[in-house]
Amino acid sequence: MIEAFGNGMSKALLFDIDGTLANTDPLHLKAFNQVLGPRGHVFDHTRFSRELQGFANASIGERFLPGETVERRAAILGEKEEVFRSLVAGQIEPLPGLMALLDRADAAGIPMVAVTNAPRLNAELLLSGLGITQRFKAIVIGDELAYGKPHPLPYQEGLRCVGGSAAASIAFEDSRSGVQSATAAGIPTIGIRTSLNHADLVGAGAVTSASAFDDPELLARLTAAMAW
């Protein structure tokens, strides 16, 4: 349980970006349909959350563009990311309670890391659009590592960047692959219900879920875990 964290261990908060800091998944869905729809792949919300959400573009390309070269897959999915960035520009709003939570973590001296499978351009655009880039000690990009989510490596790297202890830290995720990545790294993970429901998130390994960062139960757990 989160409440049982030991004292003296290095704490950290680790956040996914898309769908966790801001509810950007509807725009990703629209961008995927615009680019992959003409190639025979159309997604509704359910299929998006199961087959696209939280996965790195390399694995998406392997699955949905098997007849293309690696370079061509990258170009097609790069086009999707350009569409997404054009859709999201000026429309980035933080999830309720996010800014207050970041303020509390800063005041308590608890380092924060962003851990994402999104391309770096997307990650930087979203963090900049939210005005929170400087809050994070590191931005870990799954595609820049040997393995992205759901492998534990991205979250292991996030902990390494700040000297965090997995058991004393907390991760926030909205996708199955993200929850699986964080929990495989040994980090108690809270699911954020922007796309998936409580049962889906807990089924993937989350210790609990919250609608947003102003959820009273979430705040109580964080107060107990982080001792702030």
Tell me the catalytic residues.
16, 18
Structure tokens, 31: 């961008």
Q: How far is CA 176 from CA 103, 112, 151, in A?
A: 28, 21, 12
Structure tokens, 159: 């902990």
Yes or no: say if 184 and 22 are a contact pair by the CB < 8 Å rule.
no
Tell me how far apart the alpha carbons of residues 12 and 52 are, in angstroms, rounded to a whole number.
28
Residues 6+ apart with CB under 8 A from 220: none
Tell me how far apart the alpha carbons of residues 9 and 11 are, in angstroms, rounded to a whole number.
6
Structure tokens, 11: 């704490």
Start-to-end C-alpha separation, the chain: 18
Structure tokens, 164: 């965090």
